[in-house]
Amino acid sequence: MISHKLIIAEKPSVAQSIASVLGATQKQDGYMEGNGYLVSWCVGHLVELVHADQYDEKYAKWNYGDLPIIPDDWKYTVASGKQKQFKILKDLMHDDRVSSIVCATDAGREGELIFRFVYHQAHCKKPIERLWISSMEDSAIAKGFENLRPGQEYEKLYASALCRAQADWLVGINATRLFSVLYNATLNVGRVQSPTLAMLVQRHLQIANFQKEKYFHAHIDCDGIDAISGKITERSEAERIQTACHGGQAVVTAITKEQKTVNPPKLYDLTTLQREANRLYGFTAQQTLDYTQSLYEKKLVTYPRTDSNYITDDMTDSTVEIITEIFSLFPFANAANVAINIKNLVNNSKVTDHHAIIPTMEITKADLDSIPATEKSILTLISMRLLCAVSEKHSYEAVTATFDCSGYAFTAKGKTTLQDGWKSIETAYKNTVKTAKDNTAVQNKADNALPPLLEQQVFDEIGSSVSEHFTNPPKSYTEDTLLSAMENADSPDVELHKDAEKKGLGTPATRAAVIEKLVTSGFMERKNKQLLPTEKGINLIAILPDTIKSAKLTAEWENALTEIAQGRKAADDFMNGITAMVKELVQTHTSATNEGKALFQTERICVGKCPRCGSNVYEGKKNFYCSNKECSFTMWKNDKFFSSKKKELTARIAETLLNSGKILVKGLYSEKKDTKYDAYILLADTGGKYVNYKLEFLKRRK
């Protein structure tokens, strides 16, 4: 019997690319076969942690007394609707032909988790090898299979992924249930999403509470040079200076010149790419990730979920070749005069799991016009950044001139470009993106050089004026600035030094999903490019303790996960800390505050009296429920009795049933006869787990 390797990718498209390179061309049900290989895929997360009620049926209801829920032994299950593909993988893993398993899921923390969950759920014991690549090019795949690594080398990475999953489960399940029960509202709490929401709310409150202050500047016009005074708090003082200077004489008292350089930007990691795409195109972080992932699977760019801005020295020659090809592919590149400084990009010590995002040589073979416009925008952006990164420095001379007029000091500033360098490429690129109005504004801002000036130079008959200004509140977060704040969570409003350790909220791979979850959960909303907390989000943060909403604390947890992956921290220590925090949370918060209760009080609609205990029955999101917590009476809106007849249990129907015991409903559907009919529906409650209903047909007239 020929020994086979079973290769498990994350997606069918990736599996097909791998199979093509390896010669596994025979299509089977759920996998491909050939040349000693079986190639299959996971379809994302095939196996997941079970819901709380799988540990004990009592957890199906949310009760404070059951908290905290901390499993002794974690349980896993196959994701709903994915049983078929899991069975295919399990059967392949136990196939006698298979001697070893190659983990070919995405080369990162979550990819490792996806594979390991399937591997352990299938009770597989066969040896694991790891494919670790940053490009889907055929040559990269082939080279990756020549250098497969033992699976044991990635045990620590799996440990960090498992800690992340279990920590999110513990915090999410316990904190969500705790605060939902205390405040009688569905309040989704998450280890990363809650601190992210807290930053949004904090910024919202800063803006709401901002008190703008008026201030003034006095100006003098020296033959077209606008020289400005310092900030003046009173209009009368500014006008007094204006009057004193008008028609008078101004003297240049000092001229300072300073040559400055701006180094080329680094290559894109995922977060900086997402931020730039949001600024230029308005793409959300999730959209940018999706577009870049699609380009990766089309073999046009390297692996997107990276936090590195550099390449390794072994990539030097191939990257120079890619750069050379880019000049002929994109019109904006023709305007550039680039001396390729490839050394700017190379730093082995700054590349851990994956190098920076760059185009691949496949772009020279692809029909770029056939690529969706959104993906082409991202591909062009990545290509532009590569050219900028290898270009010369941008240099300019900054000039500051100080004037004296009637004993008052005024300042004029300007700058002159000495060498465009990488800015010429960026400008040429942005000219293809921005509108004519935008370009004019950029040009006017750039053309602000001062005319030649000499110290003690005199200007006569000068003009003067006063301008009014107001202090500005902080700006609302955009996708761009929120990503930056998440990345630099220890100091969200400060760009950290390039060598500073980033502890950030989430990872480049997860931040987009966190933002989307806040939107879909109703805690945050998008207004144009702004990200704003909703009233629900503001109220949630108001009642959460610092242990849950502290950006600094959560960033430290995320940093701990990185240390686990690097072998510098024990997984047990991290999980013990999370468990202790969850226990303390439940023990500390035993009741809702009166202020908090007021935030979540909603007007409940009473539809009738409970036939079992006589208490009020209220309408919920999915049901009509008895207000007596000891009573189990519930009328579900999606009850099969109604759905099978293509009717919904509405508030009107529920109210009539509770008050009158029956209601005439027209247009009921008969599946047996494929017709519609009219009949009375009767409430026939027997006191069991589910409420029963009966039909009473209309009497036919003789």
Q: What is the set of active-site residues?
A: 303
Give the span between the Cα atoms of 591 and 459, in whole angstroms. Answer: 74
- Residue 96 sits at φ, ψ, to 5 deg, of -60, -25
Closest listed residue to residue 228, CA positions, set 242, 214, 213, 243 = 242
- Amino acid (one-letter) located at 67: L
Give the span between the Cα atoms of 427 and 430, in whole angstroms. Answer: 5
Q: Which two tokens stand for residue 483?
A: 């990503």
Give the span between the Cα atoms of 563 and 157, in whole angstroms. Answer: 10
Place of tokens 């005074």: 229
Closest listed residue to residue 460, CA positions, set 401, 405, 400 = 405
Give the span between the Cα atoms of 221 and 239, in whole angstroms. Answer: 15
**322 and 289 in contact (C-beta within 8 Å)?**
no
Give the span between the Cα atoms of 406 and 249, in whole angstroms. Answer: 8
Name every residue whose Cβ is closer than 8 Å to that of residue 305 and which is 6 or more positions away in sequence: 106, 108, 270, 289, 354, 507, 508, 509
- Amino acid (one-letter) located at 261: T
Quick one: angle between helices 12-22 and 285-297, nearest 10?
20
Pairing of strands 37-41, 4-9: parallel
Q: Which two tokens stand for residue 83?
A: 């049983």
Name every residue whose Cβ is closer than 8 Å to that of residue 47 and which is 6 or more positions away in sequence: 76, 77, 78, 79, 86, 117, 118, 120, 121
Give the span between the Cα atoms of 649 and 620, in whole angstroms. Answer: 12
Q: Which two tokens stand for residue 13?
A: 């498209």
Q: How far is CA 643 from the centre of its chain?
A: 37
Query: Would you give the DSSP letter of residue 284?
Result: -
Q: Which two tokens stand for residue 691?
A: 């409420």
Sign of the CA dihedral 120, 126, 131, 132?
A: positive
Containing H/E element for 484? helix 479-487
Closest listed residue to residue 15, CA positions, set 101, 112, 118, 136 = 136
Give the span between the Cα atoms of 336 and 322, in whole angstroms. Answer: 16
Place of tokens 């015991």: 661
Pairing of strands 463-470, 524-527: unpaired
Hey, what long-range contacts does 283-289 have (CB within 8 A, 24 or more apart)?
A: 283/374, 283/377, 283/378, 283/479, 284/479, 284/512, 284/515, 284/516, 284/526, 285/479, 285/483, 285/511, 285/512, 285/515, 286/512, 286/513, 286/515, 286/516, 287/374, 288/378, 288/512, 289/512
Give the span between the Cα atoms of 17 and 145, in whole angstroms. Answer: 13
Give the span between the Cα atoms of 485 and 508, in whole angstroms. Answer: 12
Containing H/E element for 486? helix 479-487
Place of tokens 């990756």: 144
Report the Cα–Cα distance between both ends of the chain, in Å, rounded: 80
Burial (CB count <10 Å: 0-12, 13-18, 19+), residue 246: middle
